[in-house]
Amino acid sequence: MAYVTTESNDDLLTLNGFRIEIGGAPVAAITTVGGLNRVTGEIEWTDGGTGNVQVFSDQQKKFGPISMKYRVDPTKGEFDNLRNLVTSSMYLGVRFDFSIIKFHHGKELFRILVYRSLWNNEQFPEMDKNGSGPFEVTLQVPCAYWEIVK
């Protein structure tokens, strides 16, 4: 699999930025990550004597899909760099693990480890005849679970 990397590490680490790594290799094309969420269900139990309702967790965790955006500039030959990886995940069902590393002034604050991910939705913007420059593609990435580590 081909990963998108850049010439130097300086453009991966912005002042308060983040970096995505897949298999330990930086993926510089991804500009936005969002939608990190997790939810547990609940069970209600009613006390027969008092009628009070107690709410407990059902211990079943669900992790919502993560959204990502990557920037493409077709005039620079960047169109297929990340798309090869996305296509193999979408059409072949190739699952992967990745890390989101958050930085502050160039120093790593924490990592979010994301397990058993699968790109399953890729959305291109509307095409405009007047615009031939860079554009952003949006991805949906369901995952089995994620955790924050330091």
Residue 52 lies in a domain: no
Domain count, the chain: 1
Extended beta strands in 47-134, E state: 53-63, 66-72, 96-104, 107-117, 121-123
Residue 116 structural domain = 13-36+64-149
Task: State the CATH number of the domain containing residue 144.
Answer: 2.30.110.20
What percentage of residues in the chain have a pLDDT greater than 90? Answer: 19
Q: Is the pLDDT of residue 78 over 70?
A: no
Instruction: Count other C-beta atoms under 10 Å from residue 146's C-beta.
Output: 20
Residue 134: inside a domain, yes or no? yes
Residue 94 in domain = yes
Query: Could you report the per-residue pLDDT of 40-69, keeping only the tens digit for each?
Result: 888 898 988 888 999 988 888 888 889 999
pTM: 0.73
pLDDT at 129 over 50: yes
Q: Residue 132: which pLDDT band, with cuts at 50, 70 and 90? A: low
Helices (H) and strands (E) in the chain, counts: 1, 11
Q: What is the residue-averaged pLDDT of the chain? A: 81
Tell me, yes or no, whether 75 lies in a domain: yes
Q: Is residue 58 part of a domain?
A: no
* Tokens coding 35: 């939608």
Give the C-alpha distances (Å, rounded to integers) separating 108 from 31, 143, 145, 149. Answer: 18, 23, 22, 11
